[in-house]
Structure 1
Amino acid sequence: MCTQIHMCIHIQSFSHFLNSGTGPEVWGNCNAPKAITVSAVIYCLRSMVGHDIPLNQGCLKPVTIKIPPGCLLDPSPDAAVVGGNVQTSQRIVDVILHAFGACAASQGCMNNITFGDESVGYYETVAGGAGAGPAWHGRSGIHVHMTNTRITDPELLESRYPVILNKFTLNQGTGGRGKFRWW
């Protein structure tokens, strides 16, 4: 579990990102490799631009991203990083979108579920939801931001794994109150 980590993204302009206030890499696995951090920045910029921008390294030419080596967002090669992809990447996106006033926070995690033993292994991201924006309600039960996957259909889950899914529902009323809500 990632707790008490410090992430600071200074945005000097739409094209200048400085992560100089980010804390050092952590002992747990919530460090995000530099590639994940850069991917989150690209995702945010492409989402906010409002035009179809090809996804390639060229779209970053006008963008400056400075990340101090050894920090949470560019850890050393020995640092654990699995949580950086599923949790920290979502937080990076939330921080950037908030800084631009583009959207409220998402669920903040890819909400993973995993189980298995010596003969079978299962890992999946479970949709949480999207935050509300300046003129729209949020959505529950959808994958957003750094996870745009689709959950396995219950019938496939039960036919391929030794499980029976008894219930899978949305947790109603968890989005808070406001003019535009996360339903």
Structure 2
Amino acid sequence: MKTISTQPLNGPLGPMILAASPQGLCGVWFEGQRHGPTEARMQSWTSDSAHTLLQNAEQQLQAYFAGDLTAFDVPLDLSAGTPFQQSVWRVLLSIPSGAHQSYGFVAGQLNNPQAVRAVGAAVGRNPLSIIVPCHRVLGAGGQLTGYAGGLWRKQALLKLEGHPLALTSTVPLFPE
């Protein structure tokens, strides 16, 4: 069993949980998001606000929220996913800030264009919100589709990145 260290982060889109294994950052979840860690699972984890990797991830996330960072450079541990999920998450890492792709595009990058639904399921199970930018995946027509942290957060993240779809939104960048 891996040792997991955690640290809370009070981000502008709500409380978050950061988690790291010896291999790298393995979790960034909004509190209460779908497919996040269970309370039972988290009880075996260690709270460690002095953890260097977690401190670095927090600093990078704060810089991202301030609009000063567009790409993250912390080591990642994607081992919680199946091989297929990991391959989807690696494709997501190639989508630059301010851009978006469709689920079909991601499936095509995996040489499996029929796997659109499976790609959607893998995107929804991404354990590294924001860092692995699942918010940059939109429907085939560019429409906003589900987001485990809430559709309003997806829209706010796209707006923060200057995405044209979200710039006309009435959703505030960081709700009060």
What TM bracket, shorter-length normalisation? 0.3 to 0.5
Between structure 1 and structure 2, the one with the greater Rg is 1
Superposition TM-score, scaled by structure 1 size: 0.32
Superposition TM-score, scaled by structure 2 size: 0.33
Higher helix share: 2
